[in-house]
């Protein structure tokens, strides 16, 4: 990794993103919305600094979460890495320039993360995680869907609203940053209309 | 070695040695059959009781694994066709599926128990110090400790923003209201953090964060030769088990 990619500024943003993921993940529960918002820091870091920092922020969030709460979160660290990398690449493609593009980016992120999350859920957890989403897996299996199909539909279904909300919120936050922020975060230029 | 001495030794052991133990346990999972994993789980739980964290460990493993176990039994034992079905009263199930569910349950329970023993006996700061002493770049320990020191401040700021929104009458009723509330809560918080980031980075640089040659620790962790040998042994055991998987 070149020093410019992992500059002190990017490092601090990474740490802020990790802390934000953890704090917001707990704080939004009181709003009773069907979202986790535990990857807002990852998406913000990815849009400001690119896929490497975005991926690192996601990966470390789950690893540190695993250090504090137990290893279950750490198993899903590759999923969080994909969220950050996908968000960074989508930002480079200009998908955070307007709210509707950000919403599409959220859908793409949800689909991309399922590529990693589904095998982890099936091979490590036998298709279940002990959460409410297991009811959906059981229902889909009962109506004749395969285990892979059931888990895939459940993972995408449970993540799509969250990732669209996260991406649109990240767009709303970043569009309000002053123009001089571009000098601090040159990668943000990809997301300015 | 008596129970008290064993407890002291484990609590004082280097986080890297404990991590090596977790690695050796993780390498066991895909390799060994259910009885070995069950023995490993029993040993981890007994170790927890020996270390004085047994009740909390058991409660946390139970809270996470009981719903997972029930879901595994239903999904793998009753819904996914695997081998010939059997009947238990009105219930049809697949004995092979139940055996697979039990294996997955034991794998998850064992790594969860081992991971929780590590988590409950190790402070993140100690792990960062051990990584520093092992010669890893300061970036690693910064990324491990800085977020933990920021979480409480961010959570406090979220509470303050939420309270001020409530005082202004923004309660967030209905889905649209709650979404607006969420935006109003997170936008100023995240923008402030982003605006502060360059200043925090300058402070890091001014303190010689990346200065070379690297500075040594004021109080480096002390390790006995026996512990270093034990750690190497555990890493070796993990590698042998991973190697056996490839055969």
Q: Read off the pTM.
A: 0.85
Q: Which residue in B has a C-alpha nearest to residue A48's C-alpha?
A: B194
* Any B CB within 8 A of A127 CB: yes
Q: Which residue in B has a C-alpha nearest to residue A49's C-alpha?
A: B194
Which residue among A64, A137, A169 sits closest to B147, beta carbon to beta carbon? A64
Distance CA B38, CA B103 (A): 9
Which residue among A12, A37, A68 sits closest to B200, beta carbon to beta carbon? A12
Q: Which residues of chain A are within 8 Å of residue B205 when distances are taken between CB atoms?
A: 8
Mean pLDDT of chain B: 86
Ramachandran sector of residue A146 (left: φ over 0; alpha: ψ -120 to 50; beta: rest): beta
C-beta atoms of A11 and B148 within 8 A? no
- pLDDT tens figures, A23-69: 887 777 767 777 888 899 999 999 999 999 999 999 999 998 887 77
- pLDDT tens figures, A90-117: 999 999 999 999 999 999 999 999 999 9
Alpha carbon of B180: minimum distance to chain A alpha carbons (Å) = 10
- pLDDT tens figures, B219-239: 777 788 888 999 999 999 999
Distance CA A133, CA A63 (A): 23
Beta carbons of A138 and B75 less than 8 angstroms apart: yes
Q: Check residue B215 and report its DSSP letter.
A: P
ipTM for the predicted complex: 0.86
- Nearest Cα to B9, choosing from B38, B50, B37, B41? B50
Query: Which band of pLDDT confidence, cut at 50, 70 and 90, is reported for residue A4?
Result: low
Beta carbons of A94 and A124 less than 8 angstroms apart: no
| CATH architecture type of domain A8-191 | Orthogonal Bundle (1.10)
- In terms of Cβ atoms closer than 10 Å to its own Cβ (0-12, 13-18, 19+), residue B97 is buried
Say yes or no to pLDDT of A1 above 50: no
Distance CA B210, CA A165 (A): 37
Distance CA A22, CA B151 (A): 7
Distance CA B68, CA A70 (A): 15
Q: Which residues of chain B are within 8 Å of residue A31 when distances are taken between CB atoms?
A: 172, 178, 181-182
Averaged pLDDT, A178-187? 86
Q: Which residue in B has a C-alpha nearest to residue A14's C-alpha?
A: B143
Predicted confidence at residue B213, as pLDDT, reads 67
- At residue B93, φ and ψ (nearest 5 deg) are -145, 170
């Amino acid at each position: 990794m070149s020093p410019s990619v992992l500059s002190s500024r990017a490092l601090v943003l990474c740490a802020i993103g990790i802390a934000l993921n953890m704090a917001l993940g707990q704080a939004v529960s009181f709003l009773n919305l069907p979202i986790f918002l535990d990857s807002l820091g990852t998406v913000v870091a990815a849009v400001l600094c690119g896929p490497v920092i975005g991926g690192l922020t996601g990966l470390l969030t789950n690893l540190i979460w695993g250090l504090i709460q137990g290893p279950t979160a750490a198993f899903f660290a590759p999923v969080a890495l994909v969220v950050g990398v996908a968000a960074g690449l989508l930002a480079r493609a200009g998908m955070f320039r307007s709210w509707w593009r950000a919403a599409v980016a959220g859908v793409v992120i949800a689909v991309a993360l399922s590529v990693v999350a589904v095998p982890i859920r099936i091979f490590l957890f036998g298709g279940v995680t002990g959460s409410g989403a297991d009811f959906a897996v059981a229902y889909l299996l009962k109506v004749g869907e395969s285990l892979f199909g059931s888990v895939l539909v459940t993972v995408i279904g449970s993540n799509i609203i969250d990732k669209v909300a996260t991406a649109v919120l990240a767009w709303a936050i970043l569009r309000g940053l002053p123009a001089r922020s571009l000098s601090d975060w040159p990668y943000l230029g990809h997301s300015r209309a | 070695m008596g129970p008290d001495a064993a407890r002291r030794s484990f609590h004082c052991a280097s986080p890297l040695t404990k991590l090596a133990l977790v690695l050796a346990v993780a390498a066991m999972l895909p390799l060994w059959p259910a009885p070995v994993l069950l023995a490993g789980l029993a040993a981890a739980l007994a170790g927890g009781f020996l270390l004085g964290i047994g009740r909390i460990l058991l409660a946390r493993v139970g809270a996470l694994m009981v719903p997972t176990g029930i879901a595994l039994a239903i999904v793998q034992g009753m819904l996914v066709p695997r081998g010939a079905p059997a009947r238990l009263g009105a219930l049809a199930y697949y004995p092979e599926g139940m055996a697979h569910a039990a294996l997955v349950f034991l794998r998850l329970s064992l790594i969860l128990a081992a991971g929780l023993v590590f988590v409950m006996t190790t402070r993140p700061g100690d792990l960062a110090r051990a990584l520093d002493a092992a010669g890893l770049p300061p970036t690693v320990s910064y990324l491990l400790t800085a977020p933990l020191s920021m979480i409480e401040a961010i959570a406090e700021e979220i509470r303050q923003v939420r309270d001020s929104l409530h005082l202004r009458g923004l309660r967030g009723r209905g889905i649209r209201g709650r979404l607006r509330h969420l935006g109003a809560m997170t936008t100023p918080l995240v923008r402030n953090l982003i605006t502060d980031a360059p200043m925090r980075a300058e402070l890091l640089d001014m303190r010689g964060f990346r200065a070379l040659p690297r500075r040594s620790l004021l109080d480096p962790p002390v390790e006995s030769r026996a512990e270093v040998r034990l750690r190497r042994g555990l890493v070796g055991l993990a590698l042998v088990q991973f190697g056996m998987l490839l055969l």
